[in-house]
Structure 1
Amino acid sequence: MLDIEERLTLDERSAVDFVLGLRKRWADTVYPALREEYGATGAAATTVGDASQVLRGLPLYPWFSHLERVQQKMLWKVAGDAVLSRREELTDQLTSVPEQPKGSLELNPDLELPDWYTDYDIHIQPGSFFSDDMSAYVYEFGARIVMLRDNDGYKFHTLFAKTALPELPAATRIVDIGCGFGKSTRPLPAKYPTAQVIGVDLAAPGLRLAHAEAEATGLAIDYRQADGRATGIESGSCDVVTGTMVLHEMPAAAIRETIVEAARLLKPGGSLRFLEFMLTGDPLRDATVYEHAERNNEPFFHDLFGSDLIEVCAEAGLTDVSWTPFDERRNGVQPQGWGDRPEWHFPWAVLAATKPEA
């Protein structure tokens, strides 16, 4: 399949490199300067709310906030221009799948997308992820920059599969909820070669791209358009139900319903694993993460942090529930915490639980 980056013009490459460089300097230079400015106030904030009050009074904070938002808008402009100028070729390859595919694609044109999903341009992406086939390509390309090129080759998700998912040599079915364009699903066939791997998402454009890329690389993955709260998959049929970066995109009630659905899908003894965000206990860092919701059009970020997911899992009948920090750079699951990281980063963590044996 065409990798857009292999066809970028010099001007397009320069624009991509500029946005990437701006994002890196925002994270590794502006954020440490903001921390220094915060420290100079002598504030002894112990809560996110207290830290936010101090933060909003700092001269550098408006600049920090503006830089995050404006670079995100620049990112989508660059990615959108690169994709739309190649629309015809990119559209053609979505349907250029083998006559005897290894996996499958099941779309549901009658699926009603929830208002909380369609009412916002999530991540400031114009038209969001569901509106047009090209939106999936735009999101896929833009995500490379958002992750500071640390997820090239999907090494972030491969690390998650390697360190966070259980070893199950006889697994028969794995489900990935909120699979998007397939980045979180692709490592699963190698992790579970005996299992049927199913990716579920609301957005047909992302699923078309996920299916085409899976077939182009010889991966047997079944993609289905469905709501993660009602997948239509048989109860008690899954060894692992997983999802990455998806729960924070839902209101609290939908988060709860998704956990309940995951519990329904699991076999007795099956494992739930979601990669999400977790507050760190550092009031300043947590305040900047908390306010990322406003800076990046994440309308339900606060719902995630306001939900006691350990209790939600317990109410869904799951046991051994835990949150564990996750270092996306090299170590993966890291019980001792994220370590000393001066740069701004997402505080990734793994929500794990088990369905009790019958």
Structure 2
Amino acid sequence: MARNAQHDLLTQPAGDIAARQRYVLAFKKRVEQMRRKARVIYDKRIASDVASQPEGDVRDNAVLNALYKDDLYQTICTLKLTGQELMWSAIADTVEPSAENLSLRFDALTKSKSNLGSVTLDPALELPEELKKVHIHLQPGGYLRDEGPSDLLAGAYYEEGGALYSRGQNVGTRESKAECMIRFLGEWKPDFKPARILDMACSVGASSVPYALTFPDAEVHAIDIAPSMLRYGHARAEALGASVHFHQMDVAQTKFEDNSFDLIVSHNAMHEMSTETQKAMFKESWRLLKPGGICVHQDVPLRFSELDSYEKAERSFDKWFNGELYWTDYAQNNCKDMFDAAGFDTSKGYFGSFEQADKTMKWYLAAVEKPATDG
């Protein structure tokens, strides 16, 4: 299943709105080209001023402060922020009018006896206060937006905005993140056939569905804390003919039994979590994984240990201006250390980049296998 799979929950924008979306896409691509040339600004206007600073945090902070105070770089940042806001405005004009139809679709699913999967929500689950206040990616209403028991809007925004965003970043569509990881598993452990799979922090289940379709005999579960995302994910999976069971749970403390999954995965989720939550997710992965099972956590290839002071500062934009609270935390975390602390033996694990089939993107993968015996 390719990235941006088509299904009947997606809106069909009218001609004028489609034209706006094409304009936004062209605008974002142009700004991205400008951003990639921003190093010239740094080299000509800033580098000499910070060259005397000692390497490490002192220089990193000096570069960060100087870069974001520069008039030309501020202009690029303003354009980038404007592109993100224009994107959501163009998406809103198709998503908001579809709210009632999406709700009716979900209501019909709840009454149907022919569903392939399910969705189970937990109204008592305590949601993080910081995510109620900050809108990740500037998504209108945020990930936790919830307009009622049949609301799917947060999920609709997430999928349609994400599809337009990825096109603006020139990410290929031949292979989704999940398919890329499934291909990795086939190369890394060719005889591995999971019978029970868990997708942690699944959002709308775009990565959950390929596992259900690739391993049709497996029981696939997916968890997230956002209710509208999960409702949309359930409706989306049914529309694509995939059997996925969605649950509203915290990755740090699920309600599944010990040793109950053969494969545990996450996709682009770590950078949306605090360091404490990431560590807890790794520990929960150990508890839930069967002996001999495999865990793979995947995310963007952002490792500050591999970047210089300029690159660190430039890549910090999303934390300050795009609602990514934990962007730089993720960039400084060490997945191998967190797996070690959780109890895994990482000596035979995989920690590094893995390229999409179309060569347009490399993802960071942290993969380990739980020993066949706990003791």
In structure 1, distance between residues paired with 2:284 and 2:78? 38
1:8 paired with 2:13, answer: yes
1:301 paired with 2:320, answer: no
Q: Residue 345 of structure 1 corresponds to which residue in structure 2?
A: none
Superposition RMSD on alpha carbons, in Å? Answer: 2.5
1:158 paired with 2:179, answer: yes
In structure 2, distance between residues paired with 1:311 and 1:64? 36
Structure 1 residue runs without a partner (length 5+): 339-347
**Is the CA contact 1:159–1:332 (under 8 Å) kept in the aligned structure 2?**
no
1:35 paired with 2:52, answer: no
**Is the CA contact 1:326–1:332 (under 8 Å) kept in the aligned structure 2?**
no
**Is the CA contact 2:175–2:357 (under 8 Å) kept in the aligned structure 1?**
no
Shift in Å, 1:67: 1.9
| 4 and 212 in structure 1: CA distance in 2 versus 1, 3 angstrom threshold | closer
The structure 2 residue matched to 1:62, chosen from 74, 82, 104, is 74
One-letter amino acid of the counterpart of residue 295, structure 2: L
| 216 and 2 in structure 1: CA distance in 2 versus 1, 3 angstrom threshold | closer
One-letter amino acid of the counterpart of residue 299, structure 2: E
1:20 paired with 2:39, answer: no
One-letter amino acid of the counterpart of residue 158, structure 1: E
Q: Percent identity?
A: 24
**Is the CA contact 1:177–1:243 (under 8 Å) kept in the aligned structure 2?**
yes
* SS across alignment from 1:96: helix
In structure 2, distance between residues paired with 1:117 and 1:265? 26
1:147 paired with 2:163, answer: no
**Is the CA contact 1:163–1:332 (under 8 Å) kept in the aligned structure 2?**
no
* SS across alignment from 1:274: strand
After the TM superposition, which of the residue ranges 308-317 and 279-288 deviates more from structure 2? 279-288
* SS across alignment from 1:213: helix
Q: Which residues of 2 match residues 241-252 of structure 1 at below 5 A? A: 241-252=264-275
The structure 2 residue matched to 1:282, chosen from 307, 312, 333, is 307
One-letter amino acid of the counterpart of residue 113, structure 1: L
Q: Residue 210 of structure 1 corresponds to which residue in structure 2?
A: 233
After the TM superposition, which of the residue ranges 32-41 and 200-209 deviates more from structure 2? 32-41
**Matched residue count:** 343
Shift in Å, 1:91: 1.6
Q: Residue 87 of structure 1 corresponds to which residue in structure 2?
A: 99
Shift in Å, 1:170: 3.4
**Is the CA contact 1:162–1:191 (under 8 Å) kept in the aligned structure 2?**
no
In structure 2, distance between residues paired with 1:231 and 1:38? 46
After the TM superposition, which of the residue ranges 41-50 and 269-278 deviates more from structure 2? 41-50
Structure 2 residue runs without a partner (length 5+): 1-6
Shift in Å, 1:255: 1.2
* SS across alignment from 2:251: coil
Q: Which residues of 2 match residues 200-239 of structure 1 at below 5 A? A: 200-239=223-262
Q: Residue 156 of structure 2 corresponds to which residue in structure 1?
A: 137
> Higher helix proportion, which one?
2
